[in-house]
Structure 1
């Protein structure tokens, strides 16, 4: 078995169309696997495509967010977003969003590589603080701690799990650059 070729890239608005099938698959399959990333298990391909084409693309075009993609042998299998367009009283801060790696591509170091790329971009954008939130108790918490994030606090009953059966707490985290 050969080692896969892994690369982390910054995706442009036009790259969303190029990778739309993979973007849709990554988010849909991750939600079906239980990922708490704002969507419910009933997520359709059309809804996922609307998210990428409308919500994410507009942020990229406006310059308020960056989208990083993890490619394995040229196929997109993971993403993270860095929101850099913050309110006027928070020009020093950025926020990561929708850190997700397809279930079949986990344990390759892609999450850490994506987060590292986002943090480096935040620093280049003169940000000094990066924040995020994650479902309390998720394995992602260890990833975020491994790249220097610290726990700020927990909000109980923050959101429903993708299956809609139970609500979970969310942990807010931060990292100084």
Structure 2
């Protein structure tokens, strides 16, 4: 792992992501249990969550995804990933995905720090436009707005929350780098 900030966030290789998959899976389960709409439904099994992370290793090694993790007290307490566009006309953009902070580690600025890290690293990689989506009226929506992201709009009934209820999703973008 390469540490890229005072935050102690480390950019993971595919092998390292695989080695941390159980801890990342615990973090993902914590997010879902806490009500975060991150693509999974309530009752997410820790094994299934770890397998999902292991399934990202090839994308990390191929450079399609970059993932950072923060470890505190012997466990992963936060992560963020960038999914790079693969089309020739879209290589200037990436999507911010899976910004997760363990509920016990919240309130100390870890999410904001991971967001800033992803923005810096995207710019270093030549990305000039970042995109993301998040559940409308969530704490994450407030974070992105306060960090200078531009609200593009809301899509009604875009994604199910962990309980399975359809909720609106807010789309954001941010111009960075050049």
- TM value normalised by structure 1: 0.91
Matches within 5 A, 1:86-97: 86-97=86-97
Change (3 A) 1:63 1:153: same
Counterpart of 2:48 in structure 1 is: 47
Counterpart of 1:172 in structure 2 is: 171
Equivalent pair of 1:63/1:85 in contact (CA under 8 Å): no
Tell me the distance in 2 between the aligned counterparts of 1:143 and 1:68. Answer: 19
Equivalent pair of 2:83/2:97 in contact (CA under 8 Å): yes
Tell me the distance in 2 between the aligned counterparts of 1:25 and 1:92. Answer: 33
Tell me the distance in 2 between the aligned counterparts of 1:112 and 1:51. Answer: 25
Tell me the distance in 1 between the aligned counterparts of 2:31 and 2:159. Answer: 17
Counterpart of 1:57 in structure 2 is: 57
What SS is found at the alignment partner of 1:66? strand
Which segments of 5 or more consecutive residues in structure 1 lack a partner in the other structure?
none
Tell me the distance in 1 between the aligned counterparts of 2:28 and 2:41. Answer: 11
How many angstroms does 1:18 deviate by? 2.9
What SS is found at the alignment partner of 2:8? strand
User: Is 1:123 aligned with 2:123?
Assistant: yes
What SS is found at the alignment partner of 1:80? strand
How many angstroms does 1:21 deviate by? 2.4
Counterpart of 1:154 in structure 2 is: 154
Matches within 5 A, 1:71-90: 71-90=71-90
Counterpart of 1:142 in structure 2 is: 142
- TM value normalised by structure 2: 0.90
Equivalent pair of 2:32/2:40 in contact (CA under 8 Å): yes
Tell me the distance in 1 between the aligned counterparts of 2:110 and 2:58. Answer: 25
Tell me the distance in 1 between the aligned counterparts of 2:106 and 2:23. Answer: 15
Equivalent pair of 1:12/1:60 in contact (CA under 8 Å): yes
How many angstroms does 1:145 deviate by? 1.9
Which segments of 5 or more consecutive residues in structure 2 lack a partner in the other structure?
1-5
Tell me the distance in 2 between the aligned counterparts of 1:17 and 1:24. Answer: 11
